[in-house]
Amino acid sequence: MNNKTLTFASLAIGATLLMSEAASAQTTLKVSHYLPPVHGIHTDFIVPWTKQVTKCTNGEVQFDIYPGGTQLGNVAKQQEQVLAGVVDIALGLQGIPRGRFPRTSLIELPFMTRDAGAASETLWEMYPEYLAPEYRGLKVLALFAHNGGLIHTADKKVETMEDMQGLRLRTPSPAVSQMLTALGATPQGLPPGEVYENIQKHVIDGTVFPWDPVKSFGLNEVLHYHLDAGAYTVPFFFVMNQRKYDSLPENVQACIDEASGASLEAKFGDWWDKWDAAGREEAVASGDVITHLTEAERERWREALQPTIDHYIQETADHGVDNAREIYERMRELLAEKQQDDAS
């Protein structure tokens, strides 16, 4: 073999080694959530977030995303999947399954907020001091909540508390279930993806949701009345397996941190406004009836729900959250401050 051949052979071996090292250095992280891939959480949040981290790491980190409808897209399994390392990162609802995030879920109590931005920033601000015990084993990337939810029904217009009597309504969480019960309805626990079929079959009369899932789950086809009550919100988590995060190189950790936390929290208010607007516009185009609680009726609801609020806080304390009342009051204080700032 001549020197020229040896040189080419050496270059080929070197290139192969470099390619092998690059391949071995590349990390692919699994991300799961429970929403359809047309939902804004997927298109505006999850996909751009993964692209930001990939770009920041110069391609060192890639992502496989598993949305709702895939093997890893079950809403009830998001927390356990990421804790077990089945996926590396997950987005889920704190209220499903029930009871796993009692501190965070206090924000679901009636009339806490109608503002996704204020709710999301409040949760993030409270996380280190008040909410952290619920996230052991998890690297919290974001905590957020949606805009004030509505009561959507198929065949009955709802304007007053009396109109709620006997309605079978899908509920997302124990706190919202207690609210609906106090107002005279019958709450039905269902994953979001099962609402359409159960309304179509008249198993339930309607659901509580913000506007955006009404569009993303195709519910404007079966829902025709919408009461803009703004009576509740629901929190979400976006978390990573802590062991996985700790195993990553410092530069990758820095890129994940840069894309998460406060900089990410600041986006949820505008995102939810955009997502909700699309759902409402579709309902208007369909000729649906949209009503609002009068101020007098809203006050009636507040008074009727106060015992439910007090009971839920005490129940949370009885289940081991000794400072449940303190957490609730601090949430109300921060929400009031942030909503006042938004209004000024």
* pLDDT tens by residue, 166-178: 999 999 889 999 9
Asked if the model's pLDDT at residue 13 lies above 50, the reply is no
Tokens of 218: 């195709």
User: What pTM did the predictor assign?
Assistant: 0.87
Peptide bond into 97 cis (omega under 30): yes
Is residue 75 within 8 Å of residue 192, measured between CB atoms? yes
H/E stretch holding 93: strand 89-93
pLDDT digits (tens, 9 = 90+) for 140-194: 999 999 999 999 999 999 999 999 999 999 998 899 999 999 999 999 999 888 9
Q: According to the model, what pLDDT value does residue 99 have?
A: 87
pLDDT digits (tens, 9 = 90+) for 257-314: 999 999 999 999 999 999 999 999 999 999 999 999 999 999 999 999 999 999 999 9
189 bridge partner residues? 171
Q: What are phi and psi of 195, to 5 degrees?
A: -65, -45
- Strands of the sheet with 27-32, listed across from one edge: 61-66, 27-32, 89-93, 235-241, 138-145
SS3 label, residue 237: strand
Q: CA-to-CA distance for 142 and 114, rounded, in angstroms?
A: 19
Q: According to the model, what pLDDT value does residue 256 have?
A: 98
